[in-house]
Amino acid sequence: MSPFHCEKYFLYKSARAKHRVLPLSMLPPVFVYLFKRPLPYTSTWNLQETIHRLQLALRKTGDHPDILLLLQHRPVYTAGRRQNEPSIYDERVRLQNMGAEFVSATRGGQLTYHGPGQIVGYPMIDLSRYAPTMTTRDFVCRIQKLLKDHLQDSHNIPSVHSEHTGVFLDPTTKIASIGVQVRHRLTSHGFAINITNEPLSWFNQITACGLDDVRAGSIESKLNKPTALGDEMRRIARQFGKLFVRDMVVLEQNDGSEIGKAIAALEREAKDVGDWAKAPII
């Protein structure tokens, strides 16, 4: 879904008042967790599956939490669910030899990269908590708007219209990607935005998202100065609360819950696996 289509959609909703969000006081908070170290992709995917399972189990009581995970991944290339193994085998071998993982994911979209220096957001929220139920299109457009607003509000970086999904600094420079999954009105996967320059050399090894004439950009490459990842995560969390009309509450990993325990286990795993390749091995 392109930025142009999303902007038309928001204009249409504003004009027709098609979607009325419940007042903030009537919606439960979104619990947000900021991971400290880059995470293995598959283990993080398993955490999402654990959270999804618990949300489904608790939904009948209304006690299922909405969660936003903000993190970095260890270097990994991921393929979309429509890309089958025979079509990506050669790429898998080539990219793994460069020092990255390669995973076939369940999100939409095509081949892309995640790694240190890039903030990945996994919103896991119940769209049926909105009245009426928020559509997948509305969800994706809000994600896109929060990324564009973050760039503008935090860094005075404008974005441009594009016919492609994601956020672009100019017609050929992409800074953020969106790829979501919605099951039983519960969301998973989400978005990624390049903060430092570390991801750029990895992106240069592929045709990201199937776009031949597009290269990757970052906040650092635009501003020509260092950017603190922790500050960026906190600002993105605030933008999420604003765009989705929710209070954002920090999730404590030692709260004794199954989700808290799973998060703590993933933090330990990220520490135990150690360092990662800082650039492709060519």
Whole-number Cα distances in Å, 251 to 12, 32, 154, 258: 35, 5, 24, 12
Catalytic residue, candidates 39, 88, 209, 248: 209
Q: Is 141 a catalytic residue?
A: no
Cα dihedral: 124, 126, 129, 132 (round 10): 110
Q: Which residues are part of the catalytic machinery? A: 209
